[in-house]
Amino acid sequence: MTADIRIRRVYDTPSPDDGVRVLVDRVWPRGVKKADAKLDDWAKDLAPSTGLREWYGHDPAKFSEFRRRYITELDAPEPTKKLGEVEALAARRPVTLLTATRDVEISQAAVLAELLKTGKQRGS
């Protein structure tokens, strides 16, 4: 069975269908009150490094290289551990990965969702 992983913007209204809500940004999103976000977890360890995030700048032309570099970063001990925790949650119930990024399809949340859905961990 494939894990039920969803991606949404943290600015979207929370839904009961979201399941476990996990923010995967390193920086808290502007204008969002912590109580309004209805988060179950803030997985800073899964966020791309500041250097990678700044280099990428959400430029669609850089997404493929961003994805490659980001997956390499996920090989570090802390992200590996946190990814395993999210994977375990997703085996039991839906998980929604949240990001402040405007285009979630070219975000770290999309990369994480792909890894979790396919069961492929780093190095893909």
User: pTM here?
Assistant: 0.91
Residues 43-65: pLDDT tens digits? Answer: 999 999 999 999 999 999 999 99
53 CB-near residues (< 8 Å, 6+ apart): 26, 47
Whether 43 contacts 86, CB under 8 Å = yes
- 21, 109 in Cβ contact below 8 A? no
Let me know how long the chain is: 124
> How do residues 5-18 score in pLDDT, each as one tens digit?
999 999 999 999 99
- Three-state SS at 108: helix
At 120, is the pLDDT very low, low, confident or very high (cuts 50, 70, 90)? low
Domain-wise residue ranges, the chain: 5-118
Cβ contacts of 19 within 8 Å, gap of 6 or more: 4, 6, 93, 94, 95, 96
Token pair for 108: 């770290």
> What is the model's pLDDT at position 36?
87
Calculate the average pLDDT of the chain: 92
